[in-house]
Amino acid sequence: MLDIQYILNTFLFLFSGALVFFMAAGFSMLECGLVRATKAIEILKKNIGLYCISCLGFLFFGYGVMYGDFTGVSHAAAADFFFQVVFVATAASIISGTIAERASFWPFMFFVAVLSLFIYPLQGSWTWGGGFLSEMGFSDFAGSTIVHSVGGWAALAGAMLLGARKGRYSEDGTVNSWNFKPSNMTAATIGTFILWLGWFGFNGGSQLAMSTKVDIDAIANVFANTHIAAVGGSVVAMLLSCFVGSDKSVSLPMMLNGALAGLVAITAGPDYPSMELSVIIGAVGGLIMFFVTPLFDKVRIDDPVGALSVHLVPGIWGTLAVGIFNPEVSVLTQLVGIGTIGVFVFTTSFILWYVMKKTIGINSEDEAT
């Protein structure tokens, strides 16, 4: 019986990890589709580079910081590492989208190395590694804060110091969109569906076991809630873009980002709500994304793919929603966890970006300011 449990649990880790790994293709296609065609090769180089660098950093140092030496008996140790390392790469991919078109390759690779060696694993150890936030009762099932908002905070720091792409904003603050239109919405749409698919591994695998009927039922609930939250986020973004947006027409980029915002929002707690509540959580995520997106432009935070509006802010909402709707979790504890992780990640990231800017430079040559 123990062998069967071991095999099933290990399979869950490996299969789910493979789905999350495939999200790298989704991020690559989404970013390439939403940026200018002339920047596509640079985007692809950064995506494969960040994936490899983050895996090496987590292997040689980050995993030990976050979890120590794995000696469990419920699944294979290598499967545990594989499942966890693809989460690190996901956080790095979020940063890539926000700083697209203007970050220099090698400084970004250096930032990813520090992220995977120190920033991500240290904050992750506070909850998933059994640290003080876990002891307080902070709950983040699959990483609305620990993965998505972490990537968002690090990206925000980088975007602030990189500045906007040349010509993106007029002197009066007007957004110049004519020369910054998405280059390939087909690629962006396929990329979004790939991310949607990968999210079933992201959230479903975080059940961490599938050897009992209780585990299987829980995974089924997580899959259904994850899926329907994405639907809720996309439908809300579709309706808002049609009836509230400046063009009064359905916006495909908003529909795509609405689905992703719904997925981010449900990630903190896909295990406890009903499907009806999951629709609401995802819909609010899409609502937040829609109204936050233009606010970043108002303060001249240039985010070519909308990653901050999709990952950072809906991640905060999704983590708070656990405290609001789950009676076993405190809203105050969720706020403490969100604030602690946010301050740590933003501060350390800002310092690192700033030091690199003053020493080796962080802007690509054609976007240097």
Out of 202-216, 286-300, 352-366, least confident range: 352-366
In the predicted model, what is the mean pLDDT of the chain? Answer: 95
Percent of the chain with pLDDT over 70: 98
Instruction: Using the predicted structure, report yes or no on whether residue 72 has a pLDDT greater than 70.
Output: no
Mean pLDDT of 162-180: 87
The pTM of this model reads 0.96
Q: Which residues contact 249 (CB under 8 A, 6 or more apart)?
A: 241, 242
Look up residue 178 and give its two tokens. 């004519």
Q: Tens of pLDDT along 294-342?
A: 999 999 999 999 999 999 999 999 999 999 999 999 999 999 999 999 9
Tell me, rounded to whole angstroms, the distance of Cα 224 from its chain centroid.
20
Instruction: Using the predicted structure, report yes or no on whether residue 269 has a pLDDT greater than 70.
Output: yes
**Alpha-carbon distance 18 to 83, whole Å?**
8
pLDDT band at residue 71, thresholds of 50, 70 and 90? low
Q: Is the dihedral of CA 58, 61, 65, 69 positive or negative?
A: positive
> Which domains, ranges and CATH numbers included, belong to the chain?
2-367 (1.10.3430.10)
Instruction: Return the axis-axis angle of helices 213-243 and 252-267, rounded to nearest 10°.
Output: 150
Out of 109-113, 170-174, 224-228, 279-283, least confident range: 170-174
**Alpha-carbon distance 101 to 322, whole Å?**
36
Instruction: Using the predicted structure, report yes or no on whether residue 2 has a pLDDT greater than 90.
Output: no
pLDDT of residue 41: 94
pLDDT of residue 174: 86
**Alpha-carbon distance 282 to 122, whole Å?**
29
3-state secondary structure at position 175: strand
pLDDT of residue 267: 98
Q: Is the dihedral of CA 329, 332, 333, 335 positive or negative?
A: positive
pLDDT of residue 42: 93
Instruction: Using the predicted structure, report yes or no on whether residue 213 has a pLDDT greater than 90.
Output: yes
pLDDT of residue 135: 97
